[in-house]
Structure 1
């Protein structure tokens, strides 16, 4: 049902400080900048950095993961470790490194099958939820499929346009936390069909047009469904 992740929005206090981190430290290209919002290009997904001046706000303390080519991992580690106290995790044959941006978001750079060069997409976003069962059912009706459950923490991992991790309040790898009031944008062939699938459980329908639908999920996260033709 959902065919791509259009954007992830984060809340920042200072656009210039955030721009320095994402543009200079992580080599992202800046697409646009306004008084209260900055958009960086991360492959086919936009990373939106937004001051808390309006709704939807960007996510707070959001853990999310950038894709990098497997062959670039050591170079990223060597470069970032000069300034940051990195943490590392191994997932089967691939590795990920973790660091924090200036606003307390846990940023993961993980080996993926992408072309690059550099950061080439977002492959995971973690949301904090009150009820795993409720949240997993909600996102399943949007086409996400459960891939992994539990372990040593209360969480569910679901696969869709990207990996969506649902966490009850906790600290994960590198003391990461799931994001609150996260703003996600998704591409879909039919925005109204996406709304119909979950309309009985949303907190609110913020906007509904032929081009896009904006809702709040049961935990207050903003979801925008945008038609691929737009």
Structure 2
């Protein structure tokens, strides 16, 4: 149903330090720079940093994960540990490091089979939800499949065009929290079909056009289904 993650938008109280973090410390390339938002290239996905002066707002305290090549992990650790208190987690053979951006978003850099150099995609986003069962059912209709459930029954990991974790309110690794009012763009061949699949489950329909549909999910996250490349 959805085939790719087009963008993830985060809210920045002050745009300049937020943009500097992603541009200078994480070496992301700027695609667009404006007075309200800065758009960075994270592989084929846009990372949008946005001021809270309109709607949709970007996500607050969102935990998400960048893909980095396996061989670059140690270099990133040395570089970022000079100015940040990092945490590390091991997932099978892959390692991830965790740090926080200026607005309290928990940023993960995880080893993945990507070309690089540097950050090459977003492989995970965590959303905070009120009702885990309801949220899981909603995203499964869009083509995500459950691959792991937390022992505490407060989270579920879904796999689709990227990993989507749904968390009832709690603290995760590095005291991360799921994001609230997160703005996600999903690529799809047929935005109208994606809307039809979830129409009876959405929180609201914000905009409907031939090549783009914007909705809010049951927890207020803004989802855009877009066929535009």
Smaller-chain TM-score bracket: over 0.9
2:137 is the counterpart of 1:134: no
Cα RMSD between the aligned structures? 0.8
Give CA-to-partner distance per residue, 1:78-131, whole Å, 9 cap, x none.
Answer: 100011010000001000000000000000000000000000000000000001
Matched with 1:28 is: 28
Aligned mates of 2:39, 2:56 — CA distance in 1: 15
Superposition map of 1:143-158 within 5 A: 143-152=143-152, 154-158=154-158
Q: Could you state the TM-score of these two structures normalised by the residue count of structure 2?
A: 0.99
Deviation at 1:153?
A: 5.4
Matched with 1:16 is: 16
Moved over 2 A (4+): none
Q: What SS does the corresponding residue of 1:21 show, helix, strand or coil?
A: helix
Deviation at 1:150?
A: 1.6
Give CA-to-partner distance per residue, 1:30-59, whole Å, 9 cap, x none.
Answer: 111111111010000000000001111000
Aligned mates of 1:56, 1:100 — CA distance in 2: 23
Give CA-to-partner distance per residue, 1:127-147, whole Å, 9 cap, x none.
Answer: 000011000000000000000
Matched with 2:104 is: 104
Number of aligned residues: 229
Superposition map of 1:1-230 within 5 A: 1-152=1-152, 154-228=154-228, 230=229
Q: Which runs of 5+ in 2 are unaligned?
A: none
Q: Could you state the TM-score of these two structures normalised by the residue count of structure 1?
A: 0.98
Aligned mates of 2:119, 2:56 — CA distance in 1: 26
Q: What SS does the corresponding residue of 1:200 show, helix, strand or coil?
A: helix
Range with bigger deviation, 151-160 or 122-131: 151-160
Deviation at 1:227?
A: 1.0
